[in-house]
Amino acid sequence: MMGGNDQQAYDRGTSLFSPDGRIYQVEYAREAVSRGAPSLGVRTADGIVFVAMSRATSTLMESESIEKLHKLDDHLGTASAGHVADARQLIDLARRQSQGNRLRYGEPVGVETLTKFVTDHIQENTQRGGTRPYGAALLIGGIENGEPRLFAADPSGTPNEWKATVIGGGRQDIQGVLEEEWEEGLSLAEGIELGVRALAAHEEEFVPGDLAVATVTEAEGYRTVPESEVSEAFEAAGLAGDEDDDETSADDDGTDETDADGDGE
């Protein structure tokens, strides 16, 4: 996609444009995101569904500690992809802003307002010197005035609203499934099923335990979906959720930061 000698002069500094108007460090930060495992969000009639590939690189790692999905407020959640430590900074920022809004105004922050607060912070790191961009992307979704809304924040600091989208590795395949199958009026269960099926388009073999799923609805707020329900979605999606095959398979997209142990395995 990029190559040759011409770019070498421009890709080393955050604060520089290349002659064709690109900021390479931002594009490389996007590359860092696409090296990570995918996380997706689906807007349904009942609320937002988050599904994240969250498979541990070792059987001894507690997979819930991989933490791709986070509650931000009662009716607000987020899914991340890319450089794990960078994502944590952005999630902390979003959470502090949510809490601050509640303290100051006694009500939850809006989904769009919160997303733009985060993307403004991301943008600053792409313009000022002395820092690199964030190598992480976020989906921020929740219920605002009774309506489910879903936003994505990328490493350039651009916010966009989506019906359904994916961040991280395998984006092309997974977004393709979402575009083909998403429709207005999906139920929450159908949204989970769609999310699971879309991830399967990218990676053939995985089990319910490899996924983290959460929903945000008016009725229940942010809710972590238990593995039993994920298994049901697996079956409904026609996938072989064979839990016996619990080996840690080699990941073609293995540059995910969850492999951040220095062995390069």
The residues in 134-163 that bind a copy of itself, with binding defined as CB under 8 A, are 134-135, 151, 154-163
For the bound state, the minimum distance from the C-beta of residue 141 to a copy of itself, rounded and expressed in Å, comes to 13
Task: Give one word for 170, left, alpha or beta, with left for phi > 0 and alpha for psi -120 to 50.
Answer: left
CB under 8 A: which stretch of 96-104, 119-127, 197-205, 211-219 binds a copy of itself?
119-127
For the bound state, the minimum distance from the C-beta of residue 235 to a copy of itself, rounded and expressed in Å, comes to 26
Binding mask 229-258 for a copy of itself (x = CB under 8 A): --------------------------x-xx
Q: Do 82 and 168 meet the contact criterion of CB atoms below 8 Å apart? A: yes
Gap between the Cα atoms of 179 and 118, Å rounded: 26
265 binds a copy of itself, rule: CB under 8 A: yes
Indicate the residue among 34 and 217 with the shorter CB distance to a copy of itself.
34
CB under 8 A: which stretch of 5-13, 46-54, 213-221, 233-241 binds a copy of itself?
5-13
Indicate the residue among 30 and 75 with the shorter CB distance to a copy of itself.
30
C-alpha neighbours within 13 Å on the C-beta side of residue 161: 9
For the bound state, the minimum distance from the C-beta of residue 182 to a copy of itself, rounded and expressed in Å, comes to 6
Beta carbons within 8 Å of 2's beta carbon, 6+ residues apart: 24, 27
219 binds a copy of itself, rule: CB under 8 A: no
Signed CA dihedral, 236, 239, 240, 243: sign only: negative
Indicate the residue among 147 and 220 with the shorter CB distance to a copy of itself.
147
Other CB atoms within a 10 A radius of the CB of residue 262 amount to: 6
Binding mask 59-98 for a copy of itself (x = CB under 8 A): xxxx-xxx----------------xxxx-xx--x------
224 binds a copy of itself, rule: CB under 8 A: no
- Binders of a copy of itself among 162-191, rule CB under 8 A? 162-165, 171-172, 175, 178-179, 182
- Report the SS3 class of residue 56: coil
Residue 96 in tokens: 């502090």
- Residue tagged 């000022």 (tokens): 128
Gap between the Cα atoms of 178 and 174, Å rounded: 6
Indicate the residue among 99 and 160 with the shorter CB distance to a copy of itself.
160
Q: Do 136 and 86 meet the contact criterion of CB atoms below 8 Å apart? A: yes
Indicate the residue among 167 and 233 with the shorter CB distance to a copy of itself.
167
9 binds a copy of itself, rule: CB under 8 A: yes
HEC letters along 193-236: HHHHHHHHCCCCCCCHHHEEEEEEECCCEEEECCHHHHHHHHHH
Indicate the residue among 178 and 213 with the shorter CB distance to a copy of itself.
178
